[in-house]
Structure 1
């Protein structure tokens, strides 16, 4: 039987917190006995029991799992240092088996090529290596020396009025940032991420929709005040002044230590595993988790296509993640179209898709509103961030200057700053 699977299960017995964080499902193990052992572990956890040899002795069919001697043998294979590598190996072996399986079924049932490719793609999406640190992404563009920034006290939003209302992002709290498409959600999130990074936190960015290259490009544009359109061909389109600024912008962004994970359809378990990995890599920094966006997160079950149950599960899991890692979690959400049909276009709680559980589980709910989004003639180009729910403080709103061409966000008094 696979040594990797023995080491995996042994590590789970040795450090049961890993069971919550692992992306591996029982059915992804090859050995029938190992599948069964992992299912028992999950059952024990759900029943509020520890996963240790003593708990296993209470199982009526212990012998069919190999008895105490086999479980003790598993424990001897435990290797916590190499756990991430073991996980990856098991995932890779599972993918190979699944691919062979799909190709066999496809041959027997004479599948169309498009269907075969679609099924193979699904397997490839189960991955853990979609991580790009922004530091790495930027050094691909331009190598530059940098200095450590001064660290501030809390994970600031970088918006003075918003910090006054919310006190910044609090540990263990979930903030939902919701708006209609193209209202500026991603730009606001990237602003929050930069600001918390400069304040000495470790921003972990789970981008389920936008690829890393586009995020990096947006961060450079908003930080340097460059028009996003020019980022397509900086050599030809940036003027001399902007080119001289380029290396400073990249140096400043390197200091944020933003980490980007851009795999589509990531599950909360995957995000937890990656967060845990980053905490080990940056032991002196507290993470701030950003997720773009809620309904793109994979749930652990299909729920027969019931999106309300899926959102409920994800919403609860976000809160558990914030508590377990004792860090802020900021998750973006789309608003449904009902906003558009009202005379007053300012968002309300009921505009969040499947809003019930989100409204209940989130500690802070922020809405974005721009008059210029609905009225092209208006001279008002500010963006309003509405604090619609604040479990531990007042509600209110903050007005910021928003440049939709560069994605830059500033406090209103900073109008003339460049």
Structure 2
């Protein structure tokens, strides 16, 4: 161990190439927390044992953390007992080295700054490692390792490095998991209770789901013309509109309400999505906007709606034919550059697997659904994946969807945490209108009046709670889902 060194030789490349290392900063932060254990709580939110360059320093920081987290004192005496059998620790001087660290600490006031230096240099070493690995890989061109795949892998490695200390940390003990659970519950209380996740903006759906939970894969499925795309966009806009963040002690911004939303629309263009959103906000039918058949008063509504919408943290990618790997790479980039709290994909059957479209579509959908679930966990955000239902729905008298109606359903149903179905009885009734003037037509009209503009969201699966049904109001000309006017709940959201 070279005390006070600011750089260390890279044994793999020779002493002429130096790794960014500050053993002084590593010793300073260790000495500070040995002197005052409270410092550990201030730096452990971002600093981990693996960020230290010196293996002995990694041992000491990890041992101190284990002792302090268990309510015991992290001192040279207790840590020495903890590490007494570790050969590397003994070679470094053992207890004498710990006492030297504690005695020579420059100042506990600068502890956070020392920790940030250790963290930043660790990131720099990670960048060097990724750069070196990708350089060597790029030198060897093979058919099985295309430049596109190399770019995606490099981006994933960079994302993981950027999120170090947050994601991909391996096993966590129960204490850490319990702390996180309590923080989630506390956040729900601060929101007014009832929601542990992002609000959909739809009161009764939130009551059933408790909001959209981080790391969950939510499948929103339906037959064509049921309104699944509209519902997905409505939820995304509601979340973006409610977005609010608070500044944290470390200077970062943390979302406390709503969310920053990414929307992959593989079927419609960004302009079509924007038109739908404007229609909903301005209360002007989307078909009138597309045709330009609008009065000055309606144009004024559109203008004001656009000014309100342009500030929303909603990001749209309308690239068609994306693979699951490309979606993951773009989502990581969005989170790194702008932040991301909710991801929506319309729709998942338009995605492809890692290779060319497979003859075995079921196998390809398995890769896609598993990839989406893994991405939800990696990014720690809820992902809403819209899905098309098979035609077998149309063959039944009761056309309400079931889990078995999901196309290539096995893996989708298994990987999803929540499965929602959109069903509008009015759509099917409208296609079966009898001849006017007959008794059948009178009965049909009465049924149409009874159904009205009600839509059903059927919860076919939910890991966190019960299945069931939620009734919503759907205004087709504005492609808008909203809460049913219900005196039991006071009408509005």
Q: TM-score with structure 1 length normalisation? A: 0.63
State the secondary structure of the residue aligned to 1:324: helix
Describe the superposition over 1:70-94 as per-residue Cα deviations: whole angstroms up to 9, x where unpaired.
Answer: xxxxxxxxx969x9xxxxxxxxxxx
The answer as to 2:303 corresponding to 1:256 is no
Relative distance call for 1:408 and 1:303 in structure 2 (3 A) is closer
Relative distance call for 1:80 and 1:374 in structure 2 (3 A) is closer
Relative distance call for 1:175 and 1:195 in structure 2 (3 A) is same
The answer as to 2:414 corresponding to 1:360 is yes
The CA deviation at 1:168 is: 1.1
Return 408-417 or 330-339, whichever deviates more.
408-417
Matched residue, 1:396: 468
Specify every segment of 5 or more residues in structure 1 that has no aligned partner in the other structure, as ranges: 1-9, 20-25, 46-50, 52-78, 84-150
Tell me, yes or no, if the aligned pair for 2:322 and 2:351 is still in contact at 8 Å: yes
User: 1-side partners of 2:294 and 2:148: how far apart?
Assistant: 57
Relative distance call for 1:356 and 1:12 in structure 2 (3 A) is farther
Specify every segment of 5 or more residues in structure 2 that has no aligned partner in the other structure, as ranges: 1-124, 162-190, 244-258, 431-444
**CA RMSD for the aligned pairs?**
3.5
Query: 340, 351, 362: which is aligned to 1:308?
Result: 362
Q: Structure 1 segments of 4 or more deviating over 6 A?
A: 10-13, 33-42, 414-417
Q: Which of these two proteins has the greater Rg computed from alpha carbons?
A: 2
Describe the superposition over 1:314-357 as per-residue Cα deviations: whole angstroms up to 9, x where unpaired.
Answer: 01000000000000000000001101110111000010001111
Tell me, yes or no, if the aligned pair for 2:358 and 2:364 is still in contact at 8 Å: no
Tell me, yes or no, if the aligned pair for 2:217 and 2:376 is still in contact at 8 Å: yes
Matched residue, 2:298: 242
Relative distance call for 1:396 and 1:35 in structure 2 (3 A) is closer
- Higher relative CO (Cα under 8 Å, sequence separation at least 6) belongs to 1
User: 1-side partners of 2:370 and 2:265: how far apart?
Assistant: 20
User: 2-side partners of 1:39 and 1:155: how far apart?
Assistant: 34
Write the mapping of 1:3-402 to structure 2, written as runs, cut at 5 A: 14-15=129-130, 31-32=140-141, 154-200=197-243, 201-234=259-292, 237-283=293-339, 286-302=340-356, 304-376=358-430, 377=445, 378-379=448-449, 380=451, 381-402=453-474
Relative distance call for 1:344 and 1:36 in structure 2 (3 A) is closer
Paired residues in the alignment total 293
User: 1-side partners of 2:395 and 2:385: how far apart?
Assistant: 26
Tell me, yes or no, if the aligned pair for 1:205 and 1:258 is still in contact at 8 Å: yes
State the secondary structure of the residue aligned to 1:332: strand
User: 1-side partners of 2:483 and 2:381: how far apart?
Assistant: 25
The CA deviation at 1:365 is: 0.3
The CA deviation at 1:240 is: 3.3
State the secondary structure of the residue aligned to 2:407: coil
State the secondary structure of the residue aligned to 2:215: coil
Relative distance call for 1:162 and 1:239 in structure 2 (3 A) is same
